Amino acid sequence: MPDNSMPIIIVEDVHKSYLMGKEAVPALRGVSLEIRPGEFVCLMGPSGSGKTTLLNIIGGLDEAGRGHVIVDNENLVAMSEDKLATLRLRKMGFIFQSYNLLANFTAQENVESPMVLAKIGRKERRERARKLLEKVGLGDRTHHYPSELSGGQQQRVAIARALANNPAILIADEMTGDLDSETGFAIMELATQLNQDGMTIIYVTHDPRMAEFGKRLILLRDGKIVDE
Amino acid sequence: MILKYIFKNFSRRKVRTVLMILSLLVSTGLIVTMSATVETVRRSNVDLIASAVGRYDLSITKRDTSSDPFISVSEVAQEVLASDERITAVYPRFEAVVELTAKGHSGRGILLALDPERDDIGFIDVVSGTYKLGNGQVALLENASFTYDLDLGDTIDVSYSFPLPREKGQPNAAGASERRSTRSFSIAAIVRQDGVTGINTGDGLIVHMEDVQEWLDLPGRSGTLIATVDPAVYETNNAEAAALRIRDVVTAVKVRLGDEYEYRLDKASALNEAAQAFLVLQALINTYGLMALGVVGLLVHTLVMTNVQEQRRDMAILRILGSQRNYLFALVIAEVITIGLIGVSLGAGAGQLITHYIVVPLIERQMAMEGIVSPLTPRVSISSLLPVVIAAFAVLILSSLKPAREAANTKVMHAINPGVADNIQIEDLARLRERRPDFKLFLGGLVLMFIFALIAGFQIVETFGGPALEVTFILLALGLMVLGLGLIFYIATVPFEKLVLFLIGLVVPRLTYFAKRNVGRGQTRNTLISLLVLFSAVLPSFLATTLALEQANLEANARHNMGAPADIRVFGFWATPEEAEQYYLKPDFRTRQLASIQGVDQSVGLTYGYSTDVSDPVGFRTASVMAYGVDGYLNEVLFTDLIEFAAGGPEALDSIQGDLDAIIISKGLADHLAVSLGDKLLVSGEGTDHIAEYQIIAVARTIPGIRGIGRSRVTAQSNSDVLMSFDSFRSLITPLNQPLPPQDKPILSRIMMSLLPGAVARDVADEIGKRFSQDYSLNTRFMEVILENNERGQASQRIFLLALTTIAFTTAVFGVFAVIYVTIYSRRIEIGMMKAMGMKRRQLTGMLNIESITMTLGAALAGITAGAMMGYIAFYGERALSQRPTIFAVDTTVIPFIVIMIVLASMISATFSARRIVSKRAVEILRME
């Protein structure tokens, strides 16, 4: 259901180019969009359309060449790297295609790690990590290392980790890309459940079946939004 | 083509190439510097020796038993020249002790006669006047000009006594010389000499040979012939071999001239001795050098392996184009050799420059501060460079073999499907990476230590002899000790890492949370780098701990050994008691002559040791002992705080003086004979049936200065001392039914003394030397002087140790850098994720720093523990065996230096290696995959 509240993310005329050798290759050419709290947005498009670039710029992982990106009333363009890191820590959660779990940390410790950075006390973070792992269905895998978990389980740990500091926004880049269909669907169902709990989710996918889970679909091509 | 490819690679991987070249430059530079410095000091030492013993190779004199003490110059010189073709020149000399008289002063001095037109041995430094001898003109040595207050144009009278031949078998010539001749000479120059003669020329003068021959009526004759040998004989690195060649030459001369002459080859002997002293030094440098190169090898191995894995696609394309495996293998080897050529050449050059412009001037300054003025000529010989260069290239080639094989095994699939290309990791070290130290390593360490113990304990080194072999064994033993201890103590790295993490965690708990898990569980733990850091720390810690203990115990040692603030011992060579009497001192030497020396306070005389047997009253148990008579009150001179009695007390040391039946024995002897205070002992005296009975008035555990008083029962069975009164001793050494020797019979061999407050030891020593050196053969020792000399020696040793530690750890820094660099590179995705998660740049750098510090410091601490423990065990063991108490000490120079160096190295390595990755945006890092 569309929300009439203030947008949590505002992207205004964002341009971004990458240098390939001596030549600048445009990735985004004046993208503008607004995302309100609680939306479940899917970004789709062919390879090189700029969807991951847009996702990274919204997440403060990359910076826009031109334009404005406002997340929860804070303009990312004017922010220092340290402030961006703090913003990501407090307000965003990230999920990547290849899970990117810390290999030497158990599932519980992986989930705890953002909370350590956020200076949350040991007792509280352990309790919260345990609950999050239970929430993603891994309550019995808390002390397993990533190498002892399947791909789907690893991605669930990554989701639990992304939720560790109660972020307002969950950003996911091809989060089902490395998973088989069945596991992929299960992960998307988990995301849907999180969205139903009120979390804003923006995700990128190639897979039309996964795109169907989103409540708002944005199509990009050649660095521009072509359809919504 | 190969070179083009190599240089392109260099420009593509500038950091790695520069790192490899720099590590080679630093390691070879430092090793060359150390070797060249030792070589320079060694040669300078040889030069100093030559200056002291004379810059000639052989001196020939007539034996003192010869009826004619003079040599017929032309005849004998011809014979000498003909005896060996390596003899290049022979010069006549006249060197004798004469009496000098001038301006109312008289004293002894040296008359040195030579022919300055022909004899150019040594250097004459003219202080004033003209160095022109002949016609009654002489050159006065500067010292004599001060002693006799003489100047140019003054005259000096020289009296020469013709020597009397000594009868063979007799210690001295009978009677005194009756032929004595005196002549006045005019002083034409005041000079200093360097290496002209080996005779100690304090006061003396140089006269023309012809003047002396005319004066003493000895035409065509001389007292001495000196000969020089072709300098090419010395042109070898093996000083012993050079010295033996000189001996061959002298042997040939002896065959020609026969036994009527005496032959001295002081320069060769001194050279040989000096070379021996430098062998251990060189062995230490070699050990450190090998360790340093080992670390460089690891660095090169790691970086080249990384290069190979990165270039795999290029190599696969070359394979598709038809390259042979050998070509790819050669490509890697050639790349490493090129780096080696650049790095080693620069290092060798840098080593020379550092030696020339920094080290040698510093040593000269240090020597000047100690009063030694001797210009050093920096020596960087091919022979000192070559081993370093060969070792460096051997290490380089060994370390590049595996990467080269990896390159040669490149499959074409790497180009067709890049997805199969290996990720960049230090997988080549995978076998040596593990979570916990391997028990096999521990066992390996035990085996190596066992072999070390065999070599050190059974003194194999001395069994074989030969300096080259000796150095090899020392090197081998040191190497085994380092490797063995390192492997044994590798197990300690984990607890040390935990300790380091705990301590860091107290300061930065959040970063330690991450570092702890990565270090503790990480598969990137690198056993090899941990072991190398550990190995690098073992030897310096061992040597530093030993040095610290030695220093702490220096004074205690000196006090224990000497027993009193000063002592005088007679020295000489004698075959019979009658001969010995010439050297021993009469009791009145102590009470009159020594007492008149200013600064001497109390003194006690000890007789020579009389070797005899003691037993309990019924002869149930016996022991061999050395009996000493005491003349004086020991409590007045001994360091009383070091005296320990098991029974009786210090008063016995004084009361024994007047008690003819009393004896003081050691605790060990009392235990062995099962006797105690108040019991009787039987001591065998001189002659038949001479058994003396004494009562034990004290049983001592330690009496400083008396070595044979100790606690060991085993030692006491055959090697214990007993003390008795002076008169008891006189009685003991006299056969029964014979009168006691006269009271003034010289039987004292040692005098222990104390000094008056404010007395300067060196002044007292000088005074004793002046007063008694002509008439007695005495060796005077002052604790104050010994301590000063020892402390100076220890300071030099510490500097040397720091220099060696710098070599080991400077290269360890590169090893740490290489491993950290590759480790961080292989963990970039994880770093990217942590950054995405919200970790700040400085937090990431901090975390990597903590990991790096923990890994290397844990290993360094394990190495320090290993080395220090070995040092303590060795030192305490040796002290326990010698029955001496030990003062505990901790090194406060080298070990803190190691810790600081390793922490700095880790921080610099981690910060520098992480710099590029952490400065990238998270998304850039994640895209790098």
Strand-strand pairing, B224-229 and B180-194: unpaired
Choose between A47 and B170: higher pLDDT.
A47
Least Cα separation, residue B841 to chain A (angstroms): 8
Residue B425 pLDDT greater than 50, yes or no: no
Q: Which of B517, B833, B923 sits opposite A109 (nearest CB)?
A: B517
In the block, tokens 């108040």 appear at B678
pLDDT value, residue B276? 65
Of A56-60, B435-439, B598-602, B682-686, where does mean pLDDT reach its minimum?
B435-439
Average pLDDT over residues A79-104: 85
Name every chain B residue with its beta carbon within 8 A of the beta carbon of A116: 510, 513-514
Q: B290 to each of A108, B390, B472, B475, B886, how far by Cα in Å?
A: 46, 11, 13, 10, 34
Cβ pair B517:A104 closer than 8 A:
yes
pLDDT value, residue B545? 93
Average pLDDT over residues B335-346: 90
CA dihedral of B706, B711, B713, B719, whole degrees rounded to 10 = -10
pLDDT value, residue B177? 55
H-only helix segments in B311-438: 312-320, 325-354, 360-369, 382-408, 413-416
H-only helix segments in B200-324: 209-215, 239-257, 266-310, 312-320
Residue B891 pLDDT greater than 80, yes or no: yes
Question: Sheet harboring A23-35: ordered strands across?
Answer: A23-35, A9-20, A66-71, A74-75
> Could you tell me what percent of chain B has a pLDDT over 70?
87
Strand-strand pairing, A224-227 and A216-221: antiparallel
Question: What sign does the CA torsion over B568, B571, B576, B582 have?
Answer: negative
Q: Is B356 exposed, middle or buried (0-12, 13-18, 19+ CB in 10 A)?
A: middle
Of A35-49, A208-222, B422-436, B865-879, where does mean pLDDT reach its minimum?
B422-436
Q: DSSP letter at B642?
A: G
Cβ pair A85:B829 closer than 8 A:
no
Interface test with B, best of A80, A100, A115 (most B CBs within 10 A): A100
Spatial CB neighbours of B66, under 8 Å, sequence gap ≥ 6: B165, B260
CB distance B364 to B428 below 8 Å: no
Encode pLDDT of B148-197 as tens digits.
888 888 999 999 888 877 776 665 555 555 678 889 999 999 988 877 88
Q: Is B58 helix (H, G, I), strand (E, B) or coil?
A: strand
What is the band of B125 on the pLDDT scale with cuts at 50, 70, 90? confident
Cβ pair B841:A81 closer than 8 A:
yes
pLDDT value, residue A5? 75
Q: Is B53 helix (H, G, I), strand (E, B) or coil?
A: helix
Q: Does B279 touch chain A (CB under 8 A)?
A: no
CB distance B852 to B816 below 8 Å: yes
Q: Which of B523, B838, B922 sits opposite A117 (nearest CB)?
A: B838
Encode pLDDT of B227-253 as tens digits.
999 888 876 656 677 788 888 898 999
Distance CA(B541)–CA(B534), nearest Å, equals 11
pLDDT value, residue B437? 58
Interface test with A, best of B508, B833, B835 (most A CBs within 10 A): B833
Name every chain A residue with its beta carbon within 8 A of the beta carbon of B926: 61, 96, 100
CB distance B662 to B697 below 8 Å: yes
- Predicted TM-score (pTM) of the model is 0.66
Cβ pair A85:B513 closer than 8 A:
no
Provide the terminal-to-terminal Cα distance of chain A, rounded to the nearest Å: 16
Give B138's strand partners.
B187
CA dihedral of B750, B752, B758, B761, whole degrees rounded to 10 = 40
Interface test with B, best of A104, A144, A166, A173 (most B CBs within 10 A): A104
**For helices B783-826 and B266-310, angle between their N-to-C axes, nearest 10 degrees:** 20
Q: Does B270 touch chain A (CB under 8 A)?
A: no
Q: Is B921 helix (H, G, I), strand (E, B) or coil?
A: coil
Distance CA(B535)–CA(B539), nearest Å, equals 7
Of B102-111, B128-137, B268-277, B417-426, where does mean pLDDT reach its minimum?
B417-426
Residue B732 pLDDT greater than 90, yes or no: yes
> Could you tell me what percent of chain B has a pLDDT over 90?
19
pLDDT value, residue B377? 67
Q: HSE of B269 in the Cβ direction (CA atoms, 13 Å)?
A: 11
Distance CA(A8)–CA(A168), nearest Å, equals 9
Q: DSSP letter at B593?
A: I
CA B928 to chain centre: 55
CB distance B650 to B633 below 8 Å: no
Structural tokens at position B821? 């660099």
Q: Is B633 helix (H, G, I), strand (E, B) or coil?
A: coil
Distance CA(B615)–CA(B685), nearest Å, equals 12
Give A20's strand partners.
A23
Name every chain A residue with its beta carbon within 8 A of the beta carbon of B837: 88-89, 94, 113-114, 117, 161
CB distance B475 to B497 below 8 Å: no
Of B10-24, B272-286, B765-779, B827-841, where does mean pLDDT reach its minimum?
B272-286
Distance CA(B610)–CA(B213), nearest Å, equals 50
pLDDT value, residue B612? 93
Smallest Cα–Cα separation from B49: which of B271, B301, B342, B332? B271
Name every chain B residue with its beta carbon within 8 A of the beta carbon of A83: none
pLDDT value, residue B820? 77
Residue B845: its H or E element: helix B841-881
Of A29-33, A160-164, B925-929, where does mean pLDDT reach its minimum?
B925-929
pLDDT value, residue A15? 93
pLDDT value, residue A174? 86
Residue B699: its H or E element: strand B691-702
- Largest Cα–Cα distance in chain A? 53
Q: Is B794 helix (H, G, I), strand (E, B) or coil?
A: helix
CB distance A49 to A99 below 8 Å: no
Distance CA(A9)–CA(A32), nearest Å, equals 10
Please provide the average confidence, as pLDDT, over all residues in chain A: 87
Q: Is B586 helix (H, G, I), strand (E, B) or coil?
A: coil
Question: What sign does the CA torsion over B547, B548, B553, B555 have?
Answer: positive
Q: HSE of B427 in the Cβ direction (CA atoms, 13 Å)?
A: 9
Q: Which of B518, B921, B923 sits opposite A104 (nearest CB)?
A: B518
Residue B434 pLDDT greater than 70, yes or no: no
Cβ pair B836:A109 closer than 8 A:
no
Length of chain B: 929
Choose between A19 and A1: higher pLDDT.
A19
Neighbours of B919 (CB within 10 A): 13
Smallest Cα–Cα separation from B383: which of B671, B38, B870? B38
- Interface subset of B 292-331, CB within 8 angstroms of A: none
What is the DSSP track for A4-47? -S--SEEEEEEEEEEEETTEEEEEEEEEEEEE-TT-EEEEE-ST
Average pLDDT over residues A11-27: 85
Q: Is B308 helix (H, G, I), strand (E, B) or coil?
A: helix
Encode pLDDT of A145-184 as tens digits.
888 888 888 988 998 998 888 899 999 988 888 778 888 8
Q: Is B419 helix (H, G, I), strand (E, B) or coil?
A: helix
Smallest Cα–Cα separation from B113: which of B27, B210, B20? B210
Interface test with B, best of A55, A113, A165 (most B CBs within 10 A): A113
pLDDT value, residue A69? 92
Smallest Cα–Cα separation from B913: which of B805, B788, B806, B827? B827
Strand-strand pairing, A200-204 and A40-44: parallel
- The identity of residue A11, as a single letter, is V
ipTM: 0.77
Structural tokens at position B22? 């720099």
Cβ pair B840:A81 closer than 8 A:
yes
CA B476 to chain centre: 18
Name every chain A residue with its beta carbon within 8 A of the beta carbon of B508: none
Q: Does B103 touch chain A (CB under 8 A)?
A: no
Residue B466 pLDDT greater than 60, yes or no: no
Length of chain A: 228
Provide the terminal-to-terminal Cα distance of chain B, rounded to the nearest Å: 31
Choose between B567 and B316: higher pLDDT.
B567
Q: Does B832 touch chain A (CB under 8 A)?
A: yes
**For helices B509-521 and B493-507, angle between their N-to-C axes, nearest 10 degrees:** 160
H-only helix segments in B618-712: 651-655, 667-673
Encode pLDDT of A57-86 as tens digits.
998 888 888 899 999 888 888 888 888 888
Distance CA(B846)–CA(B96), nearest Å, equals 77
Encode pLDDT of B801-821 as tens digits.
887 787 777 777 777 777 777
Neighbours of B886 (CB within 10 A): 16
Interface test with B, best of A102, A147, A178 (most B CBs within 10 A): A102
Q: Does B523 touch chain A (CB under 8 A)?
A: yes
Please provide the average confidence, as pLDDT, over all residues in chain B: 82
pLDDT value, residue A2? 45
Neighbours of B551 (CB within 10 A): 18
Distance CA(A104)–CA(B155), nearest Å, equals 94
Q: DSSP letter at B134?
A: B
Q: Does B835 touch chain A (CB under 8 A)?
A: yes
Neighbours of B354 (CB within 10 A): 19
CA B154 to chain centre: 48
